[in-house]
Structure formats: structure tokens, C-alpha cells
A and B are shown apart, each in its own frame.
Chain A
Amino acid sequence: MAIRVGQPGLLSTVQDAGRFGEYALGMPPSGAMDQFSYEVGNYLVGNREGEAGLEITYFGPELTFTEDAVIAITGAEMPPKINGEEAATWETLAVSSGDVLTFDYLRSGARAYLAVAGGIDVPLFMHSRSTYTLIGLGGHEGRALQEGDELKTGDAGDRADRVGKRVDEDHVPSYSSETELRVIIGLASYRLTEESLEEFLNTTWTVTTDADRVGYRYRGGELGFVEREQPAGAGADQANVVDFGYPIGSIQVPGGVEPIVLMNDAVTGGGYATIGTVISADRDKLAQTKTNDRTRFRSVDLDEALEARKQRREQLEEIRQALQ
């Protein structure tokens, strides 16, 4: 045992890089919503790629360490305290057996990440330790942490040399209540009228309370579909299509109002028309938005999406090397 959970926070789950290769079975990737912050946490504590950490949403837990440990906290600004004293973020810290980690209220962003040297050790489920919240598989007993839970960590050896390492200021993201997400328009976007597609891109959308690991729902505009005689198998509603696969990041508009961006624990397919997909490089940013934040969607082409992906990868590599 290494960590004992006091009050569990709003939604604290064990997550790693995700569960890949099982999409065709209907298994979404799960994994840390903000992979950037999660990965940097692992770099800080010297973990191998893909070791599991905790994703802490909106309101932090109280965690007691029952062994000495090396940790790092990244992601949302939710100032951590060790035994009541404010502690640094984006920096490798040493904690001692008996130390208590708590979090102040959320200042910006939505999800903080706790990395622990050796990784959180829960059983692998389909080659991943991520919690799939929608149906309760993987992670710690398939669910968010509860008071009284005890988490083991993997063997870390001596990581004392890592303590005090910190991420260069230039690489620490700042989170705003106004976010622009880049999307590639496509999929079944032909179902929307041209004016509606334009309106989708010109509207400042507000994140509703329905914003979690499954998806983010927005409010702020009304979109219309091209009237058609519904094709065989699709069902009667104009928003319906013959059920097909949904990419992670894909945007659907049930009923023409309240677009939904599907995220890591989403359903893998269904019968609502999808109109585009948030690019992979911007999912980290999306994961740090929260209820009442404002979001705009900007249309980009594949080249810009691939360039953004490359820049993100290079930035992570730079951070990793600087921390070695």
C-alpha cells in the first residue's frame, strides 16, 4: 500500500495513455483526457511511458502517503498542499510516509494529474490501467476513487535524484475560460445546411453541465439539417443516420441543438450525424475546459492538423529531454 484515499474529490480516476486497438469491439480508449499534462507528469517522476497516474477532476481528493514517494502534479491549476503547506506544480516533489496531499479550489483548467514514481499499480485490463467510467471497467475496481480506498504503486527504486526538477515556464500551459478548438469538418457534415455549418463555426458555444469523460455538450446556437427522405435503416429523425463509427473528438448534433464532442470514454458508434472532429493536438486543451467556459471551433485542413500534432510531439520531446 502506498496511498490511502480520504475524501475522494469529485471524480478521481486511475488513467494511463489509454487502451488502444480494441475500438472494433466497441471499447473506447479511455486514458487521461489531457495526455500532455499526464505525460509530463511521468517525465518529472522518471516513469516509463504509459505508467498510470491519477486524473483529478474539478475538486481534488485528500490522499495520505503511507510510504515515502516521489510525485509530481501537473494540469489544471488546483493548488496542491502537502500537510497544509502550498506545494509546487510541474515540479518533482518528495513526500514522506504520513504526508497528506490536499488541493485548494480550482483556479483554472479542469483536470489535474498526479504522477507517482513507479506508477499507480492496478491490474491491467486489456493491456491498460485506465478507468472506463461509462460502464465501469479497468482502473481501480472500474470506478472513481472512494474514501478508504488504498492504492499500491509500482516499484520505483531510488528516484531521489529527480526531486526538484521542474518544467520550464515556457512549456507550462495556461488555461483560459475561452478556448479555440481546431476541427476538421467532414464525416457526415453534408447533413448540415451550408448556413448551419457556417453558424457552427461562427458561434461562441458555452460548455454545459454535461461535460465529462464521455463527452462535452455545448449550447449557444441552433443548426439545421438538409431535408431528405431518410434512407433505409436510418430511422425517421433528420438528425439520424445509419449507425456508424464515431471517432474520438467527433462532433454530433442530436436534434440540431447542443453539439456534443465525444471524448475518451464515449460510445464508439451510433446513429447521430457527425459533422467534424477536433484534432488530436487540441484534445488536451478541450480536457481543461469546464462548465460555462466558452469555446469556438475553427476549421482547419489536414496539413494544419498534422503540423499541430508534430509541434505537440516536439514540445513533449523537448520537455522530456530537459528533465533527463
Chain B
Amino acid sequence: MGSGVGTELPEARYSYGGDEYVFVELAEAMSLKVNFRAMAITNRLREEDIPGVTDICPSNASYMVRIDPDQLNPDELISRLKEIDEEVGDAEGFELKTRVVDVPVMMEDPWTHETLMRFRDRHQDPDATDLEYSARINGYDSKEDFIAALLGSPWLVTMIGFVPGLPWCYQLVPPEEQVEVPKYVRPRTFTPERAFGFGGGFAVVYSVQGAGGYQLYGLAPAPVLDVEQRLKDFQDSMVFPKPGDIFNYRGVDREEFDRIRSEVEDGTFEYRQREFVFHPDRSLEDPHAYNREILGVLYGD
């Protein structure tokens, strides 16, 4: 089970990814605590600006660093990472300067519904929808209760990747409230762009259309990837999400979905977002109380 307050994390595994990557698995199990460590370590590494480090990729319960081994020996990097690991410890007192973002999503939209019905033969339960199935195996009485749980508490962006801009999100709730679902038995060959899905312990927004194996619940009207950088939120980067962002998935109806879609089309859409200094310790102590505070910052004015 996930580590909550006071539980010890295991020893990190350091490994070479060939000669050009160093891969560090902080724990086999996902927990907020381990992700905070991954973020604290990679933030520190970024600040050090070590020559020969080309990419720093924080992941859910691990992180990866790409290096130019002609400039920096992987063993040298690993020695430094072990020191940083000790300095960071269990990330107690770690503060994350981040932002909290309102991410609209229309649950049970017609487009992902059409998709999931088309691939029923690849699913664990061909006779239910992905939402009905996920609600049942997570012990919810109804899919409405399940949806309410997903939309009721904010999420931490714990990793970006798979394809450009796709955010993995882990909900800021106690371990016993974490939702967990399997991926499709065989992956779909199609997923609509901006589909809101769930696999293992993670929610995602598919940044582009393509193959995928996550359970499908809805569709986001606003993009997470804007290659042409037309929208204001994408002026600095074609990818909107950043590791450490706090996303609040907010349910919207068809009317609001369509309105946001037309704002995206005419280039005027902007995410509602507020700067926020996130204190992981407080989230681990009393997540629900802290979440109310976070949402107050986002929607308070």
C-alpha cells in the first residue's frame, strides 16, 4: 500500500540506462511522499546545473536523468545524486512553488463513450462502461459517487510523458481513498485527443489522439498540448502541464464544454490558475483540510 505519514520509504535503486541515462527508482509503490522526494531531488539537481546533464525527468515514484557521458561519467552523477538524496531526506519541510489550475472535463461525453463502446472486446468487462466498471471494483455504490470522488479533490501532476504534454496525475487524498484500476486487457488503437482517462493509480489527459490502454471517463475541452502555441497559456511552451502542478478536474456540462471549445478555437481560452506554495507535509497530515484551502485559493475571488 502507499506510504502515508510516518511510513519509511525503501532504499532507492540506482541503475544505468545504458551509458546515456541514469535511472533512480525511489520506491516500487506510488505514494505522494515518494513523488515529493522525486521532485525535491530533481529540483535540487536542476539548480546545480551540472555540465553534461541534458534532461532531468521526474517521474511518479522515480526519476531519470539523461547525460552526455563524454562530459559526465554516470558514476560521478550517481555519487552526487546519492548525496542529494541524503540532503533531501524524506523531503520534510520541502516547499513547492507551484500553481493550482482549474481543468474542466465533461464526464461521460459522447466522443469517449463512442470510443469505449467500439473497443468493448478489449476490456475486462464488456457489459459495463469504463466508469461503471471502475466504480464497482473500487467499492463505490454508483458511478455518480465515483465521479464525485474524482472531481471532489485536486490532483498533483507527478510526471509528464508517454507522448508530449501528457500529465500523469495522482490525487491528493489519503492512501485508502486512492482509486486504482487496471489498464485495458489489450490497448485500444484509438483514443480521442483530450480524453480523460485512468490507469493504475493515475489520471491522465491524452495530449494527442492515438493508441492507449487507460479506462476512459470523459473529455477535456481545453488542450494540454498546443503545438502552434496559439493560446496564451502556451506562449512559453507548447506543453501546459508541469510536474508539481495541482490540477482540479471540474465537471462541466455540454453547454460549458461547447463554450470552452469555441474559446479554444478563437484563441481566447485561458486556464483559471493561481500561484500557490504547496506544503507536502500539510497535505500528508490532513489532505482534505488542505485541499479545501487549495480550492479556496483557486476559486476564492
Residues of A within 8 A of B (CB): 20-27, 134-135, 137, 183-184, 186-188, 190, 231-237, 240-245, 247-250, 267-271, 277-281, 302, 305-306, 309, 313
Contact = CB atoms under 8 A, between A and B. Distances in A.
Nearest to B175: A232
A254 to B, nearest CB: 10
Interface of B: 1-2, 13, 15-21, 23, 25, 27-31, 54-64, 66, 69-70, 73-75, 159-166, 168, 170, 175, 178, 180-183, 199-202, 207-208, 210, 227, 237, 239, 243
Contact of A232 (B1, B62, B160, B164): B1
29 contacts: A23-B66, A25-B164, A25-B165, A25-B237, A26-B165, A26-B166, A135-B163, A137-B164, A184-B19, A232-B29, A232-B178, A232-B201, A233-B61, A234-B28, A235-B182, A235-B200, A242-B28, A242-B60, A242-B61, A244-B64, A247-B20, A247-B23, A247-B64, A268-B57, A268-B162, A269-B57, A277-B16, A280-B20, A281-B19
A232 B64 contact: no
A267 B28 contact: no
Contacts of A134: 163, 210
A26 B237 CA distance: 13
A26 B18 contact: no
A233 B59 contact: no
Contacts of B30: 231-234, 242
Given A23-B57, A25-B237, A247-B18, A137 B64 contact: no
Contacts of A25: 160-161, 164-165, 237, 239
A233 B201 contact: yes
A306 B52 CA distance: 15
A233 B202 contact: yes
Contacts of A250: 17-18
Given A247-B23, A309-B19, A233 B60 contact: yes
A242 B29 contact: yes
A271 B181 CA distance: 13
Contacts of A249: 17-18, 20
Nearest to B58: A24
Contacts of B207: 26
B54 A243 contact: no
B21 A247 contact: yes
B18 A278 contact: yes
Contacts of B56: 24
A244 B25 contact: yes
Residues of B contacting A: mostly: loop
Given A247-B23, A271-B200, A306-B19, A232 B31 contact: yes
A270 B162 contact: yes
A231 B29 contact: yes
A309 B69 contact: yes
A245 B29 contact: no
Given A186-B23, A277-B17, A306-B19, A245 B54 contact: no
Contacts of A242: 28-30, 60-62, 200-201
Contact of B183 (A188, A235, A244): A235
Contacts of A190: 13
A243 to B, nearest CB: 6
A279 B160 contact: no
A54 B233 CA distance: 35
B64 A135 contact: no
B70 A280 contact: no
Contacts of B166: 26
A318 to B, nearest CB: 16
A238 to B, nearest CB: 12
Contacts of A244: 23, 25, 59-62, 64, 159
Contacts of B182: 235-237
A241 B61 CA distance: 10
Contact of B163 (A26, A183, A243, A305): A26
Contacts of B73: 306
Given A21-B55, A232-B31, A187 B162 contact: no
